[in-house]
Chains A and B, each alone.
Chain A
Amino acid sequence: MTGEHAATLDPAVVPNPTVEVNAASKWFGQKVAVSGVTCSFGPGVTGLLGPNGAGKTTMLRMMVGLVLPSEGTVSVLGKAPRQNPQTYRNLAMVPEESSVYGHMSARRLVRYAAELSGVGDPGAAADAAIAAVELEDAADRAVSGFSKGMRQRAKVASALVSDPQILVLDEPLNGTDPMQRLRLIGIFRRLGQEGRTVIVSSHVLQEVERMTDRVIAMVDGKLAAAGDIAAIRSAMADIPYRVLVESDEPRRLAAALLASDAITGIELAESGFHVETSDLRLLGTTVPAVAKELGIRLRAFRPEDDSLESVFRYLVHRR
């Protein structure tokens, strides 16, 4: 009940959270990496976004207990992982850094992870995890000879092998080729759909978009935005929407539209014109109505900046 209530108040907070970050800050000497962040994560995939140095990695490290918050608390399934190692039965991380033993084969590495996590049949679990990331062909080769993408997959397999309830992934798609990305994105989505908590940080915004609608964006160590991508965009009232309109007679249509209150600016383009508006809904009804009145054929009406990338760009440039 309180969770639901909180969710309606603050999109950074979810009902029935599995991971809770409460007013957490982290500083290293003079450098503040994370500053007073409160948010939570529940079942499903959540994207953690931010430019380099935004504090994403420190946030993820705090969540799994690699780094202790300087202030505030972080809990996983209601407990601080550092003080309760049993939490790691349900929690796994794919760190951004190397974190693999080069002298081991991929199979040995994943099996080692299974053994350390107390998995019942480590051999079978390792084989299944390796198959899930399609690494069977290279499974018996030493990890030191792997490409970056193969290492990433070995790391993901090492995390998946313990069948964790909560999976924290720091830039898991780095170095992977397009086919492997598709495969990994599919795995993460499936895990989210199964009701697991999957937290993914990434710079590749289109891929985050393909994994989830819920994002948490950080800029300069602070929470910059949270929630559904479209909702975040519509919450940015100070930044007008930009829409591309293509029609038979763009100049005549543009001139007619200038009289409308829905429009804050127009810029002619090659095959049409860009319209800026603060009310996308009103523009959506105005443009077809004006076009019909003038007998102009409308060919396209395409919002240009409600993608995650443009939302993200606005967030970063707002600071």
Chain B
Amino acid sequence: MTAPARIARTTVSQVLGTRRLIGLALLALLPAVIVFLSTSRASPASRLETFAGVTVGFFFSVVVPIVALILSASALGDERRDQTLSFIVLRPIPRIVLAAAKIGGGMAASWLVVALGAIGLGAAMGLRHGDWGHVVPLLAGGLIATTVYAAIFAPLGYLTERATLAGLAFAFIWEGAVVGAIGALASLSPWRIGFSAFAALTPDEVLPYVPDLALGNVMPGAGGAAAKAVVVLAIGVWATGWILRSRDLI
């Protein structure tokens, strides 16, 4: 295993402590539990309405930001606060590679938890509605949104201990209230970028039940969403590499 892969793997086990994993996994599975239990006697239309509501109002707008913010902000932030940063930076590894490995580790940990939630939510809909076609769109959308959050909040987590709270304020005040009211700003909402991929891939019958605020002026499209995520990720890696190169690492 190469050094960057080893760093990424260690980061996953570092940020996913047992208690944190259990707590976040429970949160991630909650949408699935809600959909599964609350649609037992529901009509098909009601099931779709509940699924769309929970997917927008809880999975994408709450679960994905919270999981990604906590885990990705910890990737570098914990190293700094645990005073272990010197252990990884005093190695013959270029800073940009180190940055990519740490963001990759935080992202992989977030993916694991979000993927669990996405598979659970898709499975709940598959079991109740008989349509398993939601699993892959949920995975794709969830992973894209997670990537964007991780790319932004991994470097921020290094810079400030309050990155998670700042991120959550961003998610709930900016993305929830401001972007919810002004659809033109939807491109500046990471979870909406992920949701646009979900909307493009999921069976069409769900879309009529999706609230308007979920997309704003972002058009459904998996390719565009993935491209945005890649661009943000590249900027995030570059910014983190720059921080590791140009700031005091204490």
Interface residues, chain A, with chain B CB atoms under 8 Å away: 61, 64-68, 82-83, 85-89, 91-93, 95, 97-103, 112-113, 115-118, 158
Q: Is the CB of A85 within 8 A of B94?
A: yes
Instruction: Give Cα A116 to B7, complex, Å.
Output: 8
Q: Is the CB of B7 within 8 A of A67?
A: no
Instruction: Give Cα A118 to B90, complex, Å.
Output: 12
Q: CB within 8 Å of A: which of B84-107?
A: 84, 86-95
Q: Is the CB of A66 within 8 A of B249?
A: yes
In this complex, what residue of A is CB-closest to B247? Answer: A68
Q: Is the CB of B93 within 8 A of A98?
A: no
Q: Is the CB of B10 within 8 A of A117?
A: no
Q: CB within 8 Å of A: which of B1-31?
A: 1, 3, 6-7, 10, 13-14, 17
Q: Is the CB of A67 within 8 A of B249?
A: yes
- Contact among B91, B94, B248 for A116, CB-based, below 8 A: B91
B204 at the A interface (CB under 8 A): no
Residues of the B chain whose Cβ atoms lie less than 8 Å from the Cβ of A116? 3, 6-7, 87-88, 91, 93
Residues of the A chain whose Cβ atoms lie less than 8 Å from the Cβ of B205? none
Q: Is the CB of B92 within 8 A of A82?
A: no
In this complex, what residue of B is CB-closest to A64? Answer: B90
Interface residues, chain B, with chain A CB atoms under 8 Å away: 1, 3, 6-7, 10, 13-14, 17, 82-84, 86-95, 245-250
- In this complex, the member of A89, A93, A115 whose beta carbon has the largest number of chain B beta carbons within 10 angstroms is A115
Residues of the A chain whose Cβ atoms lie less than 8 Å from the Cβ of B250? 61, 66-67
- Contact among A85, A97, A102 for B93, CB-based, below 8 A: A85
Q: Is the CB of A98 within 8 A of B83?
A: yes
Residues of the B chain whose Cβ atoms lie less than 8 Å from the Cβ of A115? 1, 3, 6
Instruction: Give Cα A85 to B4, complex, Å.
Output: 14
Name 11 interchain pairs, CB-CB below 8 A, sorted by A.
Answer: A61-B250, A65-B90, A82-B245, A85-B91, A93-B90, A99-B83, A103-B14, A112-B10, A113-B87, A118-B3, A118-B92
Q: Is the CB of B87 within 8 A of A158?
A: yes
Instruction: Give Cα A82 to B90, complex, Å.
Output: 9
Residues of the B chain whose Cβ atoms lie less than 8 Å from the Cβ of A65? 89-90
Q: Is the CB of A66 within 8 A of B90?
A: yes
In this complex, what residue of B is CB-closest to A122? Answer: B6
Q: Is the CB of B7 within 8 A of A103?
A: no
The 8 closest A-B pairs by CB, nearest first: A97-B83, A116-B91, A98-B83, A88-B92, A67-B248, A89-B92, A66-B249, A116-B3
Residues of the A chain whose Cβ atoms lie less than 8 Å from the Cβ of B93? 85, 88, 116
What 4 new A-B contacts, CB under 8 Å, besides A85-B95, A93-B86, A117-B91? A66-B90, A99-B86, A112-B10, A116-B6
In this complex, what residue of B is CB-closest to A94? Answer: B86
B132 to chain A: closest CB distance in Å?
38
Residues of the A chain whose Cβ atoms lie less than 8 Å from the Cβ of B95? 85
Residues of the A chain whose Cβ atoms lie less than 8 Å from the Cβ of B13? 103
Residues of the A chain whose Cβ atoms lie less than 8 Å from the Cβ of B89? 65-66
- Contact among B83, B84, B92, B249 for A117, CB-based, below 8 A: B92
Residues of the A chain whose Cβ atoms lie less than 8 Å from the Cβ of B10? 101, 112
Known: A85-B92, A89-B92. Is A100-B84 also a contact (CB below 8 A)? yes
Q: Is the CB of B87 within 8 A of A86?
A: no
Instruction: Give Cα A102 to B87, complex, Å.
Output: 13
Q: Is the CB of B90 within 8 A of A98?
A: no
Residues of the B chain whose Cβ atoms lie less than 8 Å from the Cβ of A112? 6, 10
Q: Is the CB of B90 within 8 A of A92?
A: yes
Residues of the A chain whose Cβ atoms lie less than 8 Å from the Cβ of B248? 61, 66-68
Instruction: Give Cα A117 to B90, complex, Å.
Output: 9
Instruction: Give Cα A207 to B128, complex, Å.
Output: 73
A256 to chain B: closest CB distance in Å?
60
Residues of the A chain whose Cβ atoms lie less than 8 Å from the Cβ of B86? 64, 66, 93, 95, 97, 99
